Amino acid sequence: MKPFTHVAGKDCGRIVFYGLSTCVWCKKTRRLLDDLGVAYDYVYVDLLNDEERERAMAEVRRWNPNESFPTLVFNEANCVLGYDEEKIKAAVKL
Amino acid sequence: MKKEIEISDAAVDALLQKLQREAEASGYHLNNDRKFVRELVGGLLVNQQRYGYAACPCRLAAGEKAADLDIICPCDYRDADLNEFGACFCALYVGPEVSEGRKQAASIPERRPPASQRRAAKAEISAGAPLGKLSQPVWRCKVCGYLCARGEPPDICPICKAKKERFERFM
């Protein structure tokens, strides 16, 4: 079973959000995605059990060797690290 | 999946007041954005309950204290980030420019090395350089850089109040 939660919205390709439930920059990033009204999948890595967490971290490392949060992956092609309003808006291409 | 922990407003207020007092007493500033800081302090309290120590809310803790010592708030990376970016990684602590409203805190790059590099670095750390002519070993607070020459580090850093376990042998 995949640990992701889906948020419905406009289809802008597959957007995957990796974050932490305690992180304020992660909260701001999700608020931005919600305000933009796009569809995305999110997961809070700190809430996962060990096995799921290792799998999620392996995926985060593929895009972001610094292993920081939030990590946003767009269409399995590019990623935006941290809360970066301009880069996120550019990547969403509304 | 683990459950999220609920934190009361009163608990946030109490810790926020304590952090504010300690920061100002040692020359640091908390972010003035009240709502933002309250959320961060809530995250610290969640981690305190979850792990038994207040790991950085913006970083993934391993849940083993020995592996997370560098990210117990205030983290080992705070002062370098304050100098370079004007705020720590979370932006709980900010420099004078942000504190005085001349600059806005932003999301900054992660300075903490990834887990694989941290493990490698730990394996390389020796007991410290030879004593040479020093009459006492020198201890360095990894949080703020405070140095003291004495038999062992103080229980609490007099400058930033970090605990003894956060000191390293410097000379």
Cβ-Cβ contacts under 8 Å for A87 (sequence gap 6 or more) = A80
Residues of A with Cβ-Cβ distance to B91 under 8 angstroms: 24-25
Greater pLDDT, B31 or B123: B31
Question: What CA–CA distances, in Å, run from A64 to A2, A45, A79, B36, B71?
Answer: 21, 14, 8, 25, 19
Residues of B with Cβ-Cβ distance to A26 under 8 angstroms: 58
**Would you state the pLDDT for residue B122?**
76
- Summarize pLDDT for A67-87 with one digit per residue, the tens: 999 999 999 999 999 999 999
**Among B43, B47, B114, whose Cβ lies nearest the Cβ of A66?**
B114
Residues of B with Cβ-Cβ distance to A4 under 8 angstroms: none
Put simply, whether B64 touches A (Cβ < 8 Å) is no
Show the tokens assigned to B4.
């999220």
Between strands A71-74 and A40-44, the pairing is unpaired
Over A46-75, what HEC string results?
HHCCHHHHHHHHHHHHHHCCCCCCCEEEEC
A50's torsion region: left (phi>0), alpha (psi -120 to 50) or beta?
alpha
In chain A, the residue whose alpha carbon lies closest to the alpha carbon of B3 is A47
Neighbours of A82 (CB within 10 A): 23
Greater pLDDT, B169 or B119: B169
- What DSSP designation does A53 have? H
Q: Number of CB pairs < 8 Å for A and B?
A: 70
A66–B110 CB contact, under 8 Å: yes
**Would you state the pLDDT for residue B128?**
55
**Would you state the pLDDT for residue B85?**
95
In chain A, the residue whose alpha carbon lies closest to the alpha carbon of B45 is A22
- Summarize pLDDT for B84-103 with one digit per residue, the tens: 999 999 999 999 999 999 99
Most B CBs within 10 Å: which of A2, A22, A44, A80, as the mutation test of the B interface?
A22
The stretch B145-169 carries a mean pLDDT of: 90
Residue B7 reports pLDDT greater than 90:
yes
What is the spatial distance between Cα A91 and Cα B1, in angstroms, rounded to a whole number?
A: 30
Q: Which of A1-10, B11-20, B136-145 has the lowest mean pLDDT?
A: A1-10
Task: Look up the ipTM and state it.
Answer: 0.93
The amino acid at residue A60 is: V
The stretch B136-146 carries a mean pLDDT of: 95
Burial of A21: CB neighbours in 10 Å, binned 0-12, 13-18, 19+: middle
Residue A42 reports pLDDT greater than 70:
yes
Look up the pTM and report it.
0.88
Show the tokens assigned to B148.
């003291």
Residue found by looking up tokens 């407003």 in the block: B9
Residue B120 reports pLDDT greater than 90:
no
A21–B42 CB contact, under 8 Å: no
**Would you state the pLDDT for residue B124?**
67
| Average pLDDT of the residues of chain B | 91
Whose CA is closest to A70, among A36, A41, A35, A37?
A41
What residues does B138 pair with on adjacent strands? B149
